[in-house]
Amino acid sequence: MELDWGCADQALCDTSGHCVYPAGSIRVFGKCHPTDCDWGAKRTYAENGGWESATYKYSWAAKSVWVKTYQYNGRTYLRVWVHTDFTPADGRQDYTTDVWMLK
């Protein structure tokens, strides 16, 4: 995974107090056969609780990817939560993965 958080500490706000934060980007790689897959780069969107999200849409499924960093005992962890929603025509069971990576 390649992750660019953008500039979350800078916001563009209008007179009503509505703010927009510059977007980051994410590029996901997966384990495929016979060669690994590059899901491509997507713009991320700021979500509640410090999460960033992006959605990858394919003819057979939509994959919602959420990422967030955590600090614990002086170490930085990246949590990657992915929900795969298969189309009815595909017939497979939807599933979710929740992976923690140590920087």
Per-residue pLDDT of the chain (103 residues; tens, 9 = 90+): 888 876 655 666 667 766 665 678 999 998 888 988 999 999 898 888 889 999 999 999 999 999 999 999 999 999 999 999 999 999 999 999 999 999 8
Nearest to 98 by CA among 55, 65, 70: 65
Cβ(64)–Cβ(53) below 8 Å: yes
Contact 61, 50 (CB under 8 A): no
Q: From the centroid of its chain, how far is CA 32?
A: 19
Please state, as a whole number, how many other Cβ atoms lie within 10 Å of the Cβ of residue 26: 23
Tell me the whole-structure pTM to 2 decimals.
0.79
Q: Rg (Cα) of the chain, in Å, rounded?
A: 16
